[in-house]
Structure formats: C-alpha cells, structure tokens
C-alpha cells in the first residue's frame, strides 16, 4: 500500500537535530513536529502495521514511541547505556520493538510499558542495524565487529553468525519468507545471505568475541598461554590441546591491551587495559589477587614483571609514564617520567635485571634503573614509528621492533645501533632465538642476528588463512591470532 507519511530527522531539513518532522507523502505538507529528544536522531521507523506509530532512536541514549493520532510522545525507553543506533518494530506483533546501539546489546521490549522481553549480548563492538523477519521468529543485528548475528525470538539464542564484510554493517533487510538476508556495509559491499531457518549454524570456534591484542606464554609452564582482547576479557589456553582452561577472566571495563605471566609464580598473571588499570590474577582461583592498581591517566599499554624481584611490576601507559608497583602491598613504588609520548613496550634483561627498557610511540627507547627509577643510559633513537616490541636476546644487546616493520639491534653500553633491518611486515616480534615477521596471512621466521653482518634469511615459513593480529613464540612453539579471532598453533621444526 502507498505510504501516507514521510518522517525526517530535523537536521536533514536544516532544523534542530533533536526534532522529527512528519509530512504527508502525497502533498509534502507538514503534519507534525515531534520534539522530546535531547540529542541527534539516529534512526526512524513506522510500525509496519500501524502507520500512526513511529519509533525514534537518538544520541541521548533513548528510544521514543510517538503517536501521529495525537502528535505526542507515548513512551521514552531509557535502558540503553549509550547512544542508540537502530530500531525495528516486530511485524508480527502490535507492541514489540527491537533497539540496539553503542552499548553492544540488542533489547527487545514492549512499547506500551517499556518492559524488556529479551536482552541479547554477543557482539564485540557497537551495533548499527537491526531487522526482523516478517513472521517475527528471527531478528538480525549488524555490528562494527563486522559480523551479523541472527537471533531466535522464542529463546534469545544465537541461530547463526554471518562473517564476510570487511567493515561495519550499516543496514539489514529480509525478503518476504525470511530465507534471504541482505546486508550493506561501510566496505561498499552488499552481501546476500541464505538463512537456514530450520538448522542452527555451527559457529566456528573463536578465542574471543573481539580483536585479540596480545598473546603471552607462561615462563614456567610453556604449554600455558594467555590472550587478551577488545571484548574486555582474558582467556587462558592449553597450547597442546587448543582448549581454554575454563571460562574467561572478566573484570576490566575496556579493551585489555596486554598480559604477562609472572616468572616467579606460574599461577600469577598481570593484565592492563584502556580502563587505565593494572590487574593481578590468581589463575588457580580464577580471581583477582589485589584491587586494581590505579594511577595512570591514560590507557595502560604494557606490563612486565621484574625478572628477579617477585614483588615488583612495571606498567607503561599512553600517559607517557612508566609506573613501578610494589605488588606485595598493591602500592605505587615510583613513576618514571621522560617519554614525550605514550609507552608501548617494556623489556628487562635477565642477566642485568635492574636495567629496564621502555619503547615510546614516538620511536624513542629509554633505559632506566628498574628499582631506583633513574636513567640507565642514553636514549636509543632511530625508529620512525611506535616501538611496539623490545627484547634482550643476550647480555648487553637489545632488539627493538617498530610498527612500520623495522627491526634494530642495539649495543646497550654504547647506545649504538648495530643492525637496522626493514622486514616490510605488519607485525615483528623477537624471542631469544627467533625473529617472527607477519604480513597479511604469511609468517616468516628468522634466527636472531648474532652481529651487524648477519644476513636475515628465513628459516621457516607459515601460511595462515587470514590476516594476523598478534604473535607469540616460546621456544619452538608459535601461536598466532587471526583477525577473525581464531588461534592458530604451530611449531618450528629443527
């Protein structure tokens, strides 16, 4: 049937972004101006079976239901915790609406009372689109995490997850029988998906629901490794079986950016986050050992245990400082200042445990006396982008890897660069024995150079099915995190 009305957010007509203008479709004459939102309008939808009802979502974190019979607001829904991006009426119901947004949840609720019927969680990033099948049995949601989730209305379970877009999903639409779903994305692609309504999709096993930032192997138990993610959780794995040890560790309020095992206590793990805290975990009890260590004024990007003093931990932050903590008391020991940009990496030499190296996002490396906090040498200058990885492969020698794929080898005593090598890779890390460089889905392994004349020739090559987000290596064991959030395990054969 021909539509009777057109609704437009006010900003589109040069008016207030918080207003909604409803016009007669045939004449363009203004019927109503609906005002009540306190932020810009993000989505508008008429009820498919009752054109007198309009739903709107907004940056003010609310959804509002409007009556065009009275030109008044019927209800303001306020249970979202952030901007609301999308709304969709259930076509098979007279009083049910789905809404979703920046808080990563889809909420299905009754428009007469505002009572929740379902709260659906699973997306790792913001949700930009929701759509129902005509019979109301399935609801689809599209997210910044590049996935589409298909939910069953009867129990709120995930029926399928569709992956294939390279950027966020902005729009969704089902065909009449709900067996075809069309999606539009910021990657400029429109994709068509076949929905198997009678058979739930077996979802590929994922390590996390968000991007994996770091992988760390245990010093004392090399079969154990930990991963951290944008989904705010930490997961501990058995390298040999690929199985998680148990449910993930949750507690951080934002992205978890780094994890590090204690070299003194196999069950102790440190983590740091964009929530500006450092946390210590007892993996046996799956609980925090201390209240969060607070004091940084920016995201905490890296953590490192002192190699010989079990009571000392260092953390580097986007606030340009390194903080040294007394973890036996849960107190700040000192703050190391000197970087002009964020601190992206930390390393300490087991042979000289009181020498701490910190890599800055400006490419500068600083050397400190770990316990005293005083400078331990001249700055090491040569990188042109963020120094994301540091390693002391042997006494007096430091390897540094930067975001632009450059590896440099330094003589710490003279502060001189012994080797400069452009790997042309996206990620470069080093262990005491190997340098690992990844580009898209390829991983090249090199022996650590012994001197300035060493030739960088690959000793091993691995191919991953997807782009690589994070790498870790312990001895001959390698673990990769793919951009698609799977963990891949491999070994270097002698």
Q: How does pLDDT run across 345-361, given as a tens digit for each residue?
A: 999 988 888 899 999 99
Q: Residue 16 has what pLDDT?
A: 65
What is d(CA 481, CA 485) in angstroms, rounded to the nearest whole number?
6
Name, in order, each residue with C-beta under 8 angstroms of 380's C-beta and a sequence gap of 6 or more.
Answer: 364, 365, 366, 367, 398, 400, 408, 410, 415, 417
pLDDT at 248 over 80: no
Which range has the worst mean pLDDT, 158-167, 242-251, 292-301, 411-420?
242-251
Residue pointed to by tokens 């449910």: 247
What is d(CA 204, CA 206) in angstroms, rounded to the nearest whole number?
6
What mean pLDDT do residues 299-322 have?
A: 97
Phi, psi of 103 (to 5 degrees): -85, 5
Q: What percent of the chain has pLDDT over 90?
A: 69
What is d(CA 67, CA 180) in angstroms, rounded to the nearest whole number?
32
DSSP 203-224: PPP-S-SS-EEEEEE-SS-TTE
pLDDT at 387 over 70: yes
CA quadruple 155, 191, 135, 9: dihedral, nearest 10: 100
What is d(CA 483, CA 479) in angstroms, rounded to the nearest whole number?
13
Phi, psi of 56 (to 5 degrees): -140, 145
Q: What secondary structure letter does DSSP report for 399?
A: E
What value does the mean pLDDT of the chain take? 91
What is d(CA 480, CA 473) in angstroms, rounded to the nearest whole number?
9
- The band of 285, judged by pLDDT with boundaries at 50, 70 and 90, is confident
Structure confidence by residue, pLDDT tens digits, 10-55? 765 555 678 999 999 999 899 999 999 999 999 999 999 999 999 9
Structure tokens at 325: 């903590």
Q: Residue 62 has what pLDDT?
A: 96
Structure confidence by residue, pLDDT tens digits, 376-385? 999 999 999 9
Taken in order 153, 156, 159, 161, the sign of the CA dihedral is positive
Taken in order 216, 457, 349, 320, the sign of the CA dihedral is negative
The model's pTM is: 0.63
Structure tokens at 288: 């925090």
Q: How do beta strands 180-185 and 321-326 pair?
A: unpaired
What mean pLDDT do residues 435-455 have?
A: 86
Structure tokens at 40: 């810009």
- The answer to whether 189 and 176 have CB atoms below 8 angstroms apart is no
- The band of 466, judged by pLDDT with boundaries at 50, 70 and 90, is low
pLDDT at 205 over 60: no
What is d(CA 392, CA 399) in angstroms, rounded to the nearest whole number?
6
- The band of 425, judged by pLDDT with boundaries at 50, 70 and 90, is confident
Which range has the worst mean pLDDT, 27-41, 67-81, 196-210?
196-210
Residue pointed to by tokens 């005002």: 35
pLDDT at 90 over 80: yes
pLDDT at 399 over 90: yes
Structure tokens at 101: 């947004």
Burial class (CB in 10 A: 0-12, 13-18, 19+), 345: buried
pLDDT at 334 over 50: yes
- The answer to whether 103 and 140 have CB atoms below 8 angstroms apart is no
- Other beta carbons within 10 angstroms of residue 316's beta carbon come to 29
- The band of 204, judged by pLDDT with boundaries at 50, 70 and 90, is very low
């Amino acid at each position: 049937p021909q539509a009777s009305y057109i609704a437009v957010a006010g900003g589109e007509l040069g008016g207030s972004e918080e207003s909604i203008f409803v016009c007669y479709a045939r004449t363009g004459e203004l019927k109503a101006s609906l005002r009540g939102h306190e932020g810009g309008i993000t989505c508008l939808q008429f009820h498919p079976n009752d054109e007198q009802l309009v739903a709107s979502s907004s940056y003010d974190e609310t959804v509002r239901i409007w009556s065009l019979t009275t030109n008044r607001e019927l209800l303001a829904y306020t249970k979202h915790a952030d901007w609301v991006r999308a709304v969709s009426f259930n076509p098979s119901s007279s009083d049910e609406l789905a809404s979703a947004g920046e808080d990563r949840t889809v909420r299905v609720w009754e428009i007469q009372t505002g009572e929740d019927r379902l709260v659906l969680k699973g997306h790792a990033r913001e949700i930009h689109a929701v759509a129902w099948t005509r019979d109301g049995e399935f609801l689809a949601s599209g997210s910044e995490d590049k996935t589409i989730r298909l939910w069953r209305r009867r129990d709120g379970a995930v029926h399928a997850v569709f992956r294939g877009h390279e950027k966020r999903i902005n729009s969704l639409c089902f065909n009449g029988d709900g067996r075809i779903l069309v999606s539009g994305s910021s990657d400029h692609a429109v994709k068509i998906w076949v929905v198997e309504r009678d058979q739930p999709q077996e979802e590929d096993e994922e390590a996390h629901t968000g991007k994996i930032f770091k992988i760390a192997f245990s010093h004392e138990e090399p079969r154990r490794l930990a991963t951290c993610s944008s989904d705010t959780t930490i997961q501990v794995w058995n390298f040999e079986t690929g199985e998680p040890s148990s449910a993930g560790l949750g507690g951080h309020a934002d992205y978890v950016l780094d994890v590090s095992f204690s070299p003194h206590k196999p069950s102790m793990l440190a983590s740091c986050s964009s929530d500006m805290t450092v946390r210590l975990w007892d993996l046996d009890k799956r609980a925090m050992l201390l209240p969060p260590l607070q004091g940084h004024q920016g995201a905490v990007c890296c953590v490192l245990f002192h190699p010989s003093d079990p009571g000392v931990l260092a953390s580097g932050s986007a606030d340009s400082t390194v903080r040294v903590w007394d973890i036996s008391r849960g107190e700040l020991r000192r703050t190391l200042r000197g970087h002009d940009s964020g601190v992206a990496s930390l390393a300490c030499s087991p042979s000289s445990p009181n020498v701490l190296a910190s890599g800055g996002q400006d490419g500068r490396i600083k050397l400190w006396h770990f316990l005293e906090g005083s400078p331990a040498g001249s700055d090491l200058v040569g990188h042109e982008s963020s120094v994301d990885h540091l390693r002391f492969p042997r006494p007096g020698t430091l390897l540094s890897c930067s975001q632009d794929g450059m590896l440099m080898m330094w003589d710490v005593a003279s502060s001189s660069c012994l080797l400069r090598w452009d790997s042309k890779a996206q990620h470069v890390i080093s262990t005491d024995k190997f340098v690992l460089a990844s580009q898209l889905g390829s991983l090249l392994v090199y022996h650590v150079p012994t001197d300035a004349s060493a030739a960088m020739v690959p000793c091993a090559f691995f191919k991953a099915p997807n782009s690589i987000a994070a790498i870790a290596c312990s001895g001959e064991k390698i673990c990769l995190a793919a951009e698609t959030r799977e963990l891949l395990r491999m070994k270097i054969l002698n």
